[in-house]
Amino acid sequence: MKIEGQPALVTGAASGMGEATARLLTSLGANVSLLDIDEAKIQWTADQIGALALPCDVTQAGSMEDAIAKAESVNGVARILVNCAGIAPAKRIVGRDGAMPLEEFKRVIDVNLIGTFNAIRVMAAALRNEAPLDEAGERGVIVNVASVSAFEGQIGQAAYSSSKGAIVALTIQAARELSSAGIRVMTIAPGLIATPMLFGMPDEVQRSLANQVPFPKRLGSPDEFAQLVKHILENQLLNGEVIRLDGAIRMQPR
């Protein structure tokens, strides 16, 4: 897909990888709508890069439908969706205080998995009625974000790993279902990326995690993630697959 001129939606665009992706796509000439629950921050980012800010809680059907309808009325039907909204609270299944509260597990599934599905369903429903962009019949591309935790999570990541594992499982399923509409579906599984999500961890934990990366021995940058999104959008043969972006890290049990 040629990115220039395409209407695009980026969830979780107020911060980290979503913000970097929104910046890169805007700089490449896409008409980007930033969807995030943090209203003040997306407005600030959108004003900076010249994009559209749309407050949205990805867990809510109506909130997603309203945001995507508003994006469509300004920029046209989205051809690109990048699903970056996510949360990563750590908690053991059974900790010092007893069993993990069920609501906390459900909340992570709700934001990470159901939020991703919510955006996919609304975006794809609008896009399937649009004209294809090329002779192959491509109409659009969806990029989801899982995590290496989908494959080897760490202690305290039961909810997070479960949500990301489900996004991995959804990838080929959605790619097959949406192939008749010419919509490709890909997922990126990042390792350790320097974003506010990771900065929430103590410095010592961040250093020790960075040391576990075989090469390069550092945290990844949100821009490296955005560059992979760009490549996926442009490379039509990529479909239904999960790409690790992790410097060969394989997370240790603790």
Ligand X SMILES: NC(=O)c1ccc[n+]([C@@H]2O[C@H](COP(=O)([O-])OP(=O)(O)OC[C@H]3O[C@@H](n4cnc5c(N)ncnc54)[C@H](O)[C@@H]3O)[C@@H](O)[C@H]2O)c1
Catalogue the active-site residues. 160
What is the dihedral sign for C-alpha 96, 101, 107, 112? positive
Closest separation between CB of residue 131 and ligand X, Å?
Answer: 30
Question: Which of the residues 29 through 48 are near ligand X (CB under 6 A)?
Answer: 36-38
Question: Which CB, 16 or 182, lies closer to ligand X?
Answer: 16
Take residue 239 and report the two structure tokens written for it: 């479909």
CB atoms within 10 A of CB 61: 12
Indicate which single residue of 33, 75, 86, 166 sits in contact with ligand X (rule: CB under 6 A): 86
Closest separation between CB of residue 39 and ligand X, Å?
Answer: 10
Question: Which of the residues 117 through 176 are near ligand X (CB under 6 A)?
Answer: 145, 147
Question: Which of the residues 170 through 199 are near ligand X (CB under 6 A)?
Answer: 190, 192-193, 195-198
Which among 10-18, 70-78, 96-104, 235-243 is the span making contact with ligand X, rule CB under 6 A? Answer: 10-18
Closest separation between CB of residue 148 and ligand X, Å?
Answer: 7
Indicate which single residue of 85, 122, 159, 229 sits in contact with ligand X (rule: CB under 6 A): 85
Question: Which CB, 44 or 92, lies closer to ligand X?
Answer: 44
Give the DSSP per-residue string, the chain: ---TT-EEEEETTTSHHHHHHHHHHHHTT-EEEEEES-HHHHHHHHHHHT-EEEE--TT-HHHHHHHHHHHHHHH-S-SEEEE-------B-SEETTEEPPHHHHHHHIIIIIIHHHHHHHHHHHHHTTSPPSSTT---EEEEEE--THHHH--TTBHHHHHHHHHHHHHHHHHHHHHGGGTEEEEEEEE--B-SHHHHTS-HHHHHHHHHT-SSS-S-B-HHHHHHHHHHHHH-TT--S-EEEESTT------
Question: Which CB, 145 or 182, lies closer to ligand X?
Answer: 145
Question: Which of the residues 49 through 78 are near ligand X (CB under 6 A)?
Answer: 56-59
Please answer whether residues 193 and 16 qualify as being in contact, where contact means their C-beta atoms are separated by less than 8 angstroms: yes
Check residue 248 and give left, alpha or beta (phi > 0: left; psi -120 to 50: alpha): left
Question: Which CB, 18 or 182, lies closer to ligand X?
Answer: 18
Indicate which single residue of 32, 34, 111, 228 sits in contact with ligand X (rule: CB under 6 A): 111
Closest separation between CB of residue 8 and ligand X, Å?
Answer: 16
Question: Which CB, 24 or 37, lies closer to ligand X?
Answer: 37
How many angstroms separate the CA atoms of 42 and 230, rounded? 21
Question: Which CB, 12 or 140, lies closer to ligand X?
Answer: 12
| Per-residue x/- track, 210-249, ligand X (CB under 6 A) | ----------------------------------------
Q: Applying CB under 6 A, which residues contact ligand X?
A: 11-12, 14-18, 36-38, 56-59, 84-88, 111-112, 115, 145, 147, 190, 192-193, 195-198
